[in-house]
Amino acid sequence: MLKFSEQPNRPALRLLVLHDDPDREFDYVTGAEEALQLALDNNWTVVSVKDDWTTVF
């Protein structure tokens, strides 16, 4: 879906939520290596539940 939304003639927010806080909810980091690498390679925004969520809410 994030790849699909990447079109040079259209603005889009490509945001990946990293569920990395086992105290708030389940920790989904294991198995997310490919998605995180794609985010890094494609300059997508990654939001960490553990580190950024208090900033968001």
Q: How many CB atoms lie within 10 A of CB 18?
A: 19
Q: What's the pLDDT at 13?
A: 85
Q: What is the pLDDT of residues 10-29, one digit of tens each?
A: 888 889 998 888 888 878 78
- Distance, CA of 1 to CA of 47 (rounded, Å): 17
Q: What is the mean pLDDT of residues 47-57?
A: 83
Helices (H) and strands (E) in the chain, counts: 2, 2
Band of residue 57 on the pLDDT scale cut at 50, 70, 90: low
Distance CA 25, CA 16 (A): 17
Model confidence at 56: pLDDT above 80: no
- DSSP label of 25: S
Q: Tell me the domain boundaries of the chain.
A: 15-56
- Res 41 pLDDT > 70: yes
**Are the C-beta atoms of 47 and 15 separated by less than 8 Å?**
yes
The pTM assigned to this predicted structure is 0.75
